[in-house]
Amino acid sequence: MNNNKIRQLNNQAIEQFDQEYVNDFQWEKIQNLINKSFPQNNFCFLDIGGGNGKFADRILATYPLSTGTILDNADILLSLNKTDPRKKLILGSVEDLTELFVNCKYDLIFFNWTLHHFVKDSYAETRKSQAESLINASNLLSSIGYISVFENIYDGIFFKNLPSYIIFCLTSSKTLAPFFKKMGANTAGCGVCFLSEKQWHETFKKAELLVSEYTNFDQWPFSIVHRLFLHLGLVRVGHFWVSKKVLK
Ligand SMILES: C[S@@+](CC[C@H](N)C(=O)[O-])C[C@H]1O[C@@H](n2cnc3c(N)ncnc32)[C@H](O)[C@@H]1O
């Protein structure tokens, strides 16, 4: 049945997300961008898929004038949050963003390794759901607002977008799930949709967002077998700092 909803990750996969993904180099980048964009340091942020709140806590501790909200559809992860009077938690899915945040504006909206989880029943619907999430988030931005996106970027050897499609088909298949679970794919059966750098740029363009800065982090090593099987070229973490296009 195609109910056109984002697929919900199982508890086993969700428990593995109880960690902090942003490393010291990535954190330094975020701080530089925040300091440059919000020199008064008094901004309010929304962390979409912010899970256990470790990233939000780091922002709140570094910027005492900031306030933050975390949206996540996994109550297990939200329950791990430290309480903080400047932090609000909302249990819900990104696809209900517009209904959940009526009359709300944010200076900064984070998508830290979450967009690749907004998986629907087909590749096309999934790509659409990623673009729609960005469009709906951009409608919540204040006039000085930015969206910050960390993603694992998968570029193919010759065909840049091919690994994205292969990985989606393999991980979203329910038939193949037992096999890929054994191989360590925590999203097997549910699916994951990583994109190439080119695809992300196209997605931002579609969402009428302007990439003002893009940063590549260290390349990941893969065995030759994985490289050939998945057609993997350059794989690394990438960071996009984007804002709304000023319409003339
Ligand atoms: C890989 S984890 C990243 C967690 C956190 N952003 C970080 O960087 O540490 C993905 C997160 O996205 C959340 N997520 C997945 N699908 C979601 C949805 N439809 N709506 C809101 N959050 C979602 C998961 O529950 C999880 O917390």
pLDDT digits (tens, 9 = 90+) for 21-64: 999 999 999 999 999 999 999 999 999 999 999 999 999 999 99
Asked if the structure places residue 3 within a domain, the reply is no
Q: Which protein residue has the closest C-alpha to ligand 1 atom 9?
A: 20
Domain that residue 112 falls in: 19-153+196-220+236-244
- CATH number for the domain including 33? 3.40.50.150
Residue 227 clears pLDDT 70, i.e. is over it = yes
The pocket around ligand 1, CB under 6 angstroms, is made up of 6, 9, 14, 17, 20-21, 49-51, 55, 71-74, 77, 93-94, 112-114, 117-118
Beta carbons of 94 and 70 less than 8 angstroms apart: no
Strand blocks (E) in the chain: 44-48, 67-72, 87-91, 106-112, 141-156, 209-219, 232-244
Asked if the structure places residue 6 within a domain, the reply is no
Residue 233 clears pLDDT 60, i.e. is over it = yes
Among the ranges given (87-91, 142-146, 224-228), the one the predictor scored with the smallest mean pLDDT: 224-228
Asked if the structure places residue 104 within a domain, the reply is yes
pLDDT value at position 181?
A: 80
Number of H helices and E strands in the chain, helices first, is 10, 7
Report the length, in residues, of the chain: 248
Distance 77 CA to ligand 1 centre (A): 9
Distance 54 CA to ligand 1 centre (A): 12
Q: Kindly report, residue by residue over 102-135, the tens digit of the pLDDT.
A: 999 999 999 999 999 999 999 999 999 999 999 9
Asked if the structure places residue 108 within a domain, the reply is yes
pLDDT value at position 1?
A: 45
pLDDT value at position 12?
A: 83
What b/e readout covers 106-121, taking b as 16+ CB neighbours within 10 angstroms? Answer: bbbbbbbbbbbbbbbe
Q: Kindly report, residue by residue over 154-193, the tens digit of the pLDDT.
A: 999 999 999 999 999 999 998 888 888 877 778 888 999 9
Query: How many domains are there within the chain?
Result: 1
Distance 162 CA to ligand 1 centre (A): 24
Distance 51 CA to ligand 1 centre (A): 6
What is the C-alpha to C-alpha distance for residues 120 and 117, in angstroms, rounded to an integer?
9
